[in-house]
Amino acid sequence: MRRVGIVALNTFREAVRDRVLYNLVFFALVMIAASILVGQISIGIEEMVIVSLGLSAISVIGLLIAVFIGVGLVSKEMDKRTLYALLAKPVRRWEFLLGKFGGLVLTLTVNTIAMALGLFLALGVITQSDEHLAGSVLVAVYFILLKLALVVALALLFSCYTTPLLAILCTAGLYIAGLFVKEMRAFQSDTVSQAVQSVLRGLSYILPNFENFDVMAAAAHGRAIPGLLIAQNTAYAALYCAVVLAAATAIFTRRNLK
Amino acid sequence: MATPAIEIENLTKDYPFGFLHLKKKTSLEGLTMSVENGEVFGFLGPNGAGKSTTIKLLVGLIFPTAGTARILGKPISDISMHGDIGYLPEQPYFYDYLTAAELLDYFARIHDLPAQERKARVDAMLKKVGLETARKIQLRKYSKGMLQRVGLAQAILHDPKVVILDEPMSGLDPVGRREVRDIILELKQAGKTVLFSTHILSDAEMLCDRVGVIVGGKLRGVGAPDEIVGMKPQGMEILFEYTGDSKGLRGLLSKATQTGSRYRLQVAEADLYATMQQLCGAGAKVLSVSQVRATLEEYFMHLVAADRAQAPAVEVSGK
Amino acid sequence: MSTGASRTLLCAVLLLGFSGVWRLQHGIDAQLNTTRQEQDDLTLRSGALVKALSLEYAPLAADLYWTRVVQYYGGKHESQQTNLDLLWPLLDVTTTLDPNLIVAYRFGGMFLSDAPPRGAGKPEQGIELLRRGIRNNPEYWRFYEDLGFIYYFDLGDYPKAAEVFLEGSKRPGAMIWMKTFAARISEKGESPETSTMLWSEIYNSTSEPSIKENAKVHLQLLRARADCEQLNKLAAEYKKRAGHPPANMRDLVKAGLLPGLATDPVGVQYWFDLEGNAQINPASPLFKEQRVDNKRP
Ligand SMILES: Nc1ncnc2c1ncn2[C@@H]1O[C@H](COP(=O)(O)OP(=O)(O)O)[C@@H](O)[C@H]1O
Ligand SMILES: [Mg+2]
């Protein structure tokens, strides 16, 4: 576990030195532009607009980082052969994978916290918001983070056995599929057979369900989010990440480096 | 006697290729050998012979198709022994966003060296490989030779018992090669076991207690460089100066190689005396006489030629 | 670890993991349903935009939206919520994506127009949707039936209803009874027999479960309404004989006016309210299906 931490910190350092956190500038610009615009056009729903916009930006920026860097976590080290010296040291392959995962999740956490602070700043500028709103926005941010961790795990899994491009496509595809789980569950169409529909229904419970983490509307309206849901979503993300990382480890420990 | 530092038994590696990976290429075939404790062992072979394949199998980067190997008595699948081995990859490359000092510090942490010792070790290693002045430069700005030095530093950073180096001299200038030779000799003095691969024979000849020659994935010979060389007939070389006309020495001069007025002539040991007399008689000035050792290089070329003449080095077969 | 053992371990981890995921998902679904009850959000309300975004997959996108329509209505009906504000935009997008999705028009025509609690109570939207359906699918004559229906049931505009039925009867392939309906309605206006026939026709001509179910409920309500009228007549007769209204159906049975205790189509007994009028029992599932204004079944 100690070595997992060391690898994770190094991964974080890599992200920082590769200027990943520069995206925060972009986010800041979005928030500033949004605050100015909202002041001009909308009366009464400023909070809602800022919250939805801010959360969407946090989610999209996080997803881009999670997918593109997540896919490179392992494949880049294999391509550049930076992995060789490391794996000849007393590092187990699962420790390496977990460290890489942890490092990117750490990066995303820092990044997301920074963006959340920006969002609260923007909210503070336009209104005296109540703690109700702050609470549910905080939960929404936390859910985004859980979602990002799951995306990183998936990206890592795919990058363990395909090319980076395919891994990006697979991760993005699974993410999009995970947004339409509800529709899949109740899909009715004359164009596909009954059997396909039942398969879809079964899949809809097993595929990573990214809808679970979407409480943007509740947050925008400042509705409280039940504690049980927070616990359930945390458990869901943790369990799903564990399963995906176990599969990734199984693939990676058998893998011959070039 | 203690167990050998490295024992390799029937180690074989196939790489699948082609459509659906149905065909396979044997990169290493039934390698059996061992490296004793405290020995410097040279792993010799032309490009594509299977040297790197063997080394990567030993350090667990790839997995054997058949056979086993043990390092310090532990099977290669047991990672715990990695704390006692050092490895320099072929054409090493490291995280280019780190400086040399940071990289070594990172590896030292992985090896669980305590904080004070870590700093001292890192500094000592950087000094040893001649990178003290470049320690604060990011590795992306390093030349190939400098990376090779960093690679060497990280391989011996944690004072391992067994050091495995894949082509440690490649990419280095003469000074660098000299330094690497010195480091290997130092390791030997400190009682470490060193296995290094090379296709440069003089390095091996100079350093190794024993060498193994591998061609086409098969081990063709193991032994002390002298032993291996001993298999070839030897002779004497005479260096002389001669400015007279060629009549008196016609027979000899045609066999000698000429550089200006100097000639280099090889004769069998038995003919040495007669030849010397002939030269002196003709008024040639003998500069030196030395024994010609058949070089490892000759042996090596001989093996490669034999291998080429034989079946193709790598067998291609359906599954 | 041997590869066999590690493979078994991996399978066990995956199996356990996914069964855990499966169970958690059900829990989360339940939780989300409670938090999202009010939260009707439809991000893209413009059919044209959605169509542009879905490229050549518009029919598939239409299927997705159609699924959402059914789910939306089903979910609302299940939880007995009456605001169906998203029904129109959803159907609007669906039929823009796939102008030939007949079932969407029929569904919309019925549930946009039908009164709460079964529909949105917005007949003008139902009419608009069906007119669009007729424009896009001129050969489908049953849209006239649905349209006439809205005028007949929801708006009580009998001349217009008769006119629409007549118009529809002239479409190629239209059933002969379209003309019959036109005549009946222009002659008598609303009558229980016409209503029953119309609903039966709907019931038999569709396979869409929600529509079929709705038609069935309407038919049951019609029968209940007829039963109640019958019971009221008997009660009047009882009052004439006994001098006071019956307290319950047992009185009617004892007086020999009724052979046994009468039940509504779902098998629950009718009861008499305080004014002595026969009613559907509040314990009956049919009770809550009655129109809020209790005008027509
Ligand atoms: N990842 C790989 N896939 C297929 N063939 C490989 C792979 N790595 C090495 N080989 C083949 O194995 C043989 C031995 O390679 P190697 O051990 O790298 O030789 P060298 O002695 O030069 O280090 C070569 O013929 C090479 O083409
Ligand atoms: Mg090599």
The letter for the amino acid at C99 is P
Compute the 3-state secondary structure of chain A and give helix, strand, coil in percent, each to the nearest 5: 80, 0, 20
Average pLDDT of chain A is 87
B16 and A CB contact within 8 Å: no
Please write down the HEC assignment for all residues of A39-63.
Answer: HHHCCCCHHHHHHHHHHHHHHHHHH
Total domains present in chain C? 2
The DSSP result for C158-211, as a single string, is HHHHHHHHHHHHTSTT--THHHHHHHHHHHHSS-HHHHHHHHHHHHHH---HHH
C235 and C179 within one domain: no
| Mean of pLDDT over chain C | 82
Cα separation values, B69 from B64, B211, C143, C209, Å:
9, 18, 81, 69
CA dist., res. C63 & res. C68, Å (int): 9
Q: Which of A202, B100, B147 is nearest to C25 (CA)?
A: A202
Where residue B271 falls among pLDDT bands split at 50, 70, 90?
Answer: confident
pTM of the entire structure? 0.71
Judgement on whether residues C64 and C195 belong to the same structural domain of the protein:
yes
Residue B231 confidence (pLDDT)? 55
Q: What is the best residue among B11, B17, B21, B27 to mutate for testing ligand 1's pocket, by most ligand atoms within 8 Å of CB? A: B27
User: Distance from C31 to chain A by nearest Cα, in Å?
Assistant: 6
**pLDDT score recorded for residue C54:** 65
Cβ burial, residue B281 (10 Å; 0-12/13-18/19+): exposed
Whether C267 and C122 share a structural domain: no
Residue B223 near ligand 1, beta carbon < 6 Å: no
Q: Which amino acid is at A7?
A: V
Query: pLDDT band at residue C263, thresholds of 50, 70 and 90?
Result: confident
| C31, C59, C66 member nearest A228 (Cβ) | C31
What is the per-residue pLDDT across C214-227, written as a single tens digit (0 to 9) for each? 888 888 888 888 88
Mutation target to probe the A interface, by most A beta carbons within 10 A, among B21, B24, B58, B79 is B79
Residue C297 to residue C294: CA distance in whole angstroms = 7
Which residues is A256 bridged to in the sheet?
none
| Distances, alpha carbon C2 to alpha carbons A91, A95, B186, in Å | 19, 19, 40
pLDDT for res C225: 86
Ligand number nearest to the C-alpha of B21: 1
- Is any ligand 1 atom within 6 A of the Cβ of residue B49? yes
What's the pLDDT score for residue C42? 54
Give the model confidence (pLDDT) of A12-58 as tens digits: 999 999 888 888 888 888 888 877 776 665 555 567 778 878 888 89
How does the average pLDDT of chain B come out, rounded? 86
Secondary structure class of B52 (helix, strand, coil)? helix
Q: How confident is the model at residue A234, as a pLDDT?
A: 96
- State how far the Cα of A75 lies from the Cα of C143, in Å rounded to an integer: 59
DSSP state of B193: E
| Residue A250, pLDDT above cutoff 90 | yes
Listed residue (A196, A175, A177, A178) closest to A187, CA to CA: A196
In the numeric block, the tokens 């961790």 are attached to A149
What is the end-to-end Cα distance of chain B in Å, rounded? 42
Q: Which residues of B touch A3 (CB under 8 A)?
A: 110
Split at pLDDT 50, 70, 90, the class of B1 is low
Q: Is C24 domain-assigned?
A: no
Residue B219 has pLDDT above 50, yes or no: yes
Both C63 and C205 in a single domain? yes
Of A189, A206, A228, the CB nearest to C22: A206
Pick the residue whose CA is nearest to atom 18 on ligand 1: B52
**By three-state DSSP, how is residue B106 classified?**
helix
Is A68 within 8 Å of chain C by CB? no
Whether B305 shows a pLDDT value over 80: the answer reads no
* Inter-CA distances, B296 with A158, B35, C233, Å: 48, 20, 124
pLDDT of residue B319: 32
Q: Tell me, yes or no, whether C73 and C162 share the same domain.
A: yes
Residue C124 within any structural domain of the chain: yes
For C71, the closest chain A residue by CA position comes to: A186
For residue C187, being part of any structural domain is answered with yes
Report the C-alpha gap between C198 and C151 in whole angstroms. 13
Q: Return the domain boundaries, chain A.
A: 2-179+214-254
pLDDT at A149: 97
In a domain, residue C29? The reply is: no
Nearest to C93 by CA among C126, C131, C129, C127: C129
Residues 6+ apart with CB under 8 A from A72: A159, A164
Residue C219: inside a domain: no
| pLDDT at residue number A125 | 64
Domain boundary among C155, C186, C212: C212
**C263 and C163 housed in the same domain:** no
Which chain A residue has the Cα nearest residue B103?
A: A10
Residue B316: what pLDDT?
37
How far apart CA A96 and CA C92 sit, in angstroms, is 52
| pLDDT confidence of residue A46 | 65
Decide if C207 contacts C215 (C-beta within 8 A): no
Q: Rounded to 10 degrees, what is the CA torsion of C93, C94, C95, C100?
A: 150
Confidence bin at C236 (pLDDT 50/70/90): confident
Return residues with CB closer than 5 A to ligand 2 (ion). Answer: B 52, 90
Cβ of B216 closer than 6 Å to ligand 1, yes or no, is no
Q: What number does the ligand 1 atom closest to the CA of B45 have?
A: 21
Q: Measured between alpha carbons, how far is residue C187 from residues B67, C49, C176, C184, C194 in Å?
A: 99, 47, 17, 5, 11
The pLDDT of residue B46 is above 80? yes
Statement to judge: residues C155 and C195 lie in one domain: yes
Sign of torsion over alpha carbons C86, C92, C95, C97: negative
Q: Which residue of A has its CA nearest to B65?
A: A256
Tell me if C161 is assigned to some domain: yes
Q: Using CB atoms, which chains have 3+ pairs under 8 A with A? A: B, C
Residue found under tokens 């959402």: C68
**Which residue owns the Cα nearest ligand 1 atom 14?**
B50
Same domain, C52 and C136: yes
Q: Are strands B23-35 and B74-75 parallel, antiparallel or unpaired?
A: unpaired
Q: What's the confidence (pLDDT) of residue B314?
A: 41
Could you give the CA distance from residue A62 to residue A119 in angstroms, rounded to a whole number?
14
Q: Could you tell me if the CB of B52 is within 6 A of ligand 1?
A: yes
Distance from residue B149's CA to the centre of ligand 1 (Å): 24
CB A155 within 8 A of CB A164: no
Residues of A in contact with B97 (CB under 8 A): 13-14, 17-18
Domain CATH number, residue C91? 1.25.40.10
At A237 the pLDDT is: 96
Residue C100 DSSP class: T
Query: For residue A125, which amino acid is it?
Result: V
Burial of C260 (0-12, 13-18, 19+ CB in 10 A): exposed
C247 plus C198 within the same structural domain: no
pLDDT in tens, A96-115: 999 999 999 999 999 999 99
Which residue range is the domain that position C238 belongs to?
A: 224-293
Q: What is the mean pLDDT of residues A246-258?
A: 91
Q: Whose CA is nearest to atom 4 of ligand 1?
A: B15
Same domain? C205 vs C71 = yes
The rounded percent of chain C whose pLDDT value lies above 90 is: 10
Positive or negative torsion for Cα A222, A226, A230, A233:
negative
Q: Are residues C160 and C261 in the same domain?
A: no
Our measurement of the distance from residue B267's CA atom to the centroid of its chain's CA atoms, rounded to an integer in Å, reads: 31
Give dist(CA A87, CA B110) in Å, integer. 10
Q: What pLDDT score was predicted for residue B32?
A: 95
Over the stretch C146-195, which tens digit does the pLDDT of each residue have?
Answer: 999 899 888 888 889 889 988 888 888 888 788 888 878 877 777 788 88
The verdict on a CB contact (< 8 Å) between B79 and A6 is no
Are A20 and A111 a contacting pair, CB within 8 Å?
A: yes
Choose the final residue of a domain: C212, C247, C270.
C212
Which residue, of C212, C247, C280, is where some domain finishes?
C212
Residue B315 has pLDDT above 50, yes or no: no
Amino acid present at B61? L
Both C52 and C179 in a single domain? Answer: yes
C186 vs B172, higher pLDDT: B172
CA distances from B2 to B6, B36, B38, B39, C275 (A): 11, 9, 11, 13, 110
pLDDT of residue C169: 86
For residue C14, list chain A residues with Cβ-Cβ distance below 8 A: 243, 246-247
pLDDT in tens, B222-260: 888 877 766 555 678 889 888 877 677 777 888 888 888
Selected residues 62-81 of chain A with any CB under 8 Å from a CB in chain B: 80-81
Helix (H, G, I), strand (E, B) or coil at B6: strand
